[in-house]
Structures are given as C-alpha cells and as structure tokens.
Amino acid sequence: MIDTTSVSKFEIPIRYYCWYPPHEHIGYQEETLTLDKSKTALMLVDVYLPDKYDPDLADEDQSGSLSEKDYELWRGRIETGVVPTLNAARSLGIPVVYVCNQNFEISHQNSAFGKKLKRSLGLKVEQEFQNVVLESQYAKGQMGRLNFIEAVAPQPGEYFIGKTVYSGFFNTPLDSLLRNLGIETLITAGFRLDACLLGTVMDALYRNYRVILVRDATLGCELPHEINQTTFTERMILHFEALIGETVTVGDLEVATGNNR
C-alpha cells in the first residue's frame, strides 16, 4: 500500500463550465490539477444529520427537521459522498476543517437573519444551533442538535469553526485559521449548496481561495416535486462550476489517494 502521507502532491481531474459565448456556450471543460498537500484543506460545511419530521409531534417543536424523503436523501449523501470524501482527505493527510451552525448566545433569533429563517423556514435559530463544542464531546459526535453520524464525527486534531449565518467566514476565525495553516485551495462538501455551503464558498472565493466542490457530496434545497431528480442541486452545481470554482467526484478523490507523488 502506498503511504499517501509521505508525499507532497496529488492529482485530481477537475470540471468547470464555460458560460460563453452567449449564443452557444462552450460548456463543460475538464483538466487535471496538481495540488500541494501543504496548501490544501478539506472544508466540510454542516455535515451533521438533521432530525426527521415526526407527524406525531407538534410542528413548532420540530425546528429544522426534514421530510422523510429529504432526510433519506441527506443521509444518503453523507454516507455515500461525505464519508468517502473525508476518508480520502484523512488518507492524503490534509487538514480537515468542520464549519457548522452554532449558538453563541447572541440573541440571534432577534436578528434580521433569524427572523427571516423563522418566517420562511419555520426555523428557530437559537434552538436549532444550540450545541456545546468541546473536543471530548465532538470527537464522539455528542453535540446536542448537531448529530454527526459516527463516520463523519470530527476527530482530535481536526478543526471546528462555529458559524451563526450562512457563511462560515462571517464573524468567525475561519480565514485566520486557513491562513495560519498556509491553505490556498479548499476542497469542500456539505449542505446546502444554495444556502450555507454557497455563502461559505463565495466568501472563500472573495478571500482568494481556490474552491473545489465534491459534486456528489452536496445537496441544494429541493422542492418536493423535484426531489427525485435532484433538479435544483444539479443546477446549483452548474452555477458553482460557472461562477465560483471547479468540481470533482468522490471517485476522483479516492483515486487520488493512490496517485500521489
């Protein structure tokens, strides 16, 4: 077996979208990218598993819960997408940074952001984001409402950044952490691609990080009649590939663990 932690670089095939010329787009383009492991990190955004909606409970007590179909889709993306992505990053020996919702007791429910989420999503921000972040707890996946399945629970030595809005860069030490680690490229996965993950990767781009999305380890907020085809997710992936960064697949990363040099 190759010791992937003893080499300094790895290669991955990336994909992006050329949204020009306007009358007939060039479309999808691919190339092979060589990344320096010392300048690359995996950033996981909100990869915990929300609650499944229970029809026997009052709606007001189920802030942030998912429909049964959405829950199974989300869990499936964690198991088939996030888990192997995380395993590949750990095999490569690159830093892993978790970015997750957290309640810092700042009366967030009274903010414009909190009021909007309550009005449109029925989300009680301070209840949903409530958790305790201690290494002894998050290493075991014990984080109150942030329910990490065991295979994606943070391990000692990995990084955890709590956020209070969509973007993991807003009023957090994420940028300082990445710069102190010497990171230039972020491989990223998580939820949702049109909300928290989108806000975070856009802010990463504005801060001059190259962002590479694992496209089969994410989801957008699907409408009930489109969830079987994940229509919105696919459009958001194209949006990302055209305007924000490049993408890879889980399989690309798994192959990369054996193609280091």
> Which residues, given as ranges, of the chain have pLDDT below 70?
1-6, 107, 127-146, 259-261
- Say what the pLDDT of residue 117 is: 84
Threshold 0.85, pTM exceeds: yes
pLDDT of residue 131: 54
Distance CA 73, CA 197 (A): 17
Q: Cα 142 vs. chain centroid, distance in angstroms?
A: 19
How far apart, in whole angstroms, are the C-alpha atoms of residue 13 and residue 186? 15
Give CA separation, 215 vs 24, 43, 60, 73, 253, in Å.
24, 14, 33, 14, 11
How far apart (Å, rounded) are the C-alpha atoms in residues 12 and 157? 25
Q: Note the pLDDT of residue 2.
A: 46
pLDDT tens profile 53-98: 998 888 877 878 899 999 999 999 999 999 999 999 999 999 999 9
pLDDT score of 4: 53
Residue-level pLDDT at 135: 43
DSSP-H helix ranges across the chain:
68-77, 83-92, 112-121, 125-128, 135-138, 174-180, 196-206, 231-243, 250-256
Q: What are residue 29's DSSP bridge partners?
A: 16
Residue 208 pLDDT: 98
- pLDDT of 243 reads 98
**Domains contained in the chain, CATH given:** 37-242 (3.40.50.850)
